[in-house]
């Protein structure tokens, strides 16, 4: 069964450093998403991406965040200058179509720890 993959599974970084989290969405999917989950809290939407553009973003997704699809398979989330409060599990998701009724498939997540 096709699945979303993410690397690394765990990233430890120092405050102020840049990190890039990588995702390989399911191959025939066209819509891509990032969510985050701070330990013990709910899953929160960060951004959705289609046709090489951001289609929607949340208040959390400020100027220190960016997303990119550098080639035909990878989808990345960059955090420019990490803060302690960026420590969280980051989930990538993808879907075939947009819209309310289309299932989003989640990857296993990258645990980001900012020291």
> Which positions touch another protein (CB under 8 A)?
31, 33, 35, 41-45, 48, 50, 55-56, 58, 89, 91, 95, 98-101, 103-104, 106-109, 111
- Residue 86: partners with Cβ closer than 8 Å, 6 or more residues away: 79, 112, 114
- Residue 99: partners with Cβ closer than 8 Å, 6 or more residues away: none
Q: How far is the CB of 16 from another protein (least distance, A)?
A: 27
Residue 59 has what DSSP assignment? T
Residue 101 has what DSSP assignment? T
Nearer to another protein, 7 or 58 (CB): 58
Nearer to another protein, 18 or 110 (CB): 110
Q: How far is the CB of 82 from another protein (least distance, A)?
A: 21
């Amino acid at each position: 069964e096709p699945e979303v993959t993410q690397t690394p599974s765990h990233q430890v970084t120092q405050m102020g450093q840049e990190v890039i989290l990588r995702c390989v969405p399911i191959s025939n999917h066209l819509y891509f998403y990032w969510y985050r989950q701070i330990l013990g809290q709910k899953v929160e939407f960060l951004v959705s991406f289609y046709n090489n553009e951001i289609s929607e973003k949340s208040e959390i997704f400020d100027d220190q965040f960016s997303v990119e699809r550098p080639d035909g398979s990878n989808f990345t989330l960059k955090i420019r200058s990490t803060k302690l409060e960026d420590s969280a599990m980051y989930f990538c998701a993808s879907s075939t179509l947009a819209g309310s009724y289309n299932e989003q498939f989640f990857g296993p997540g990258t645990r980001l720890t900012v020291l």
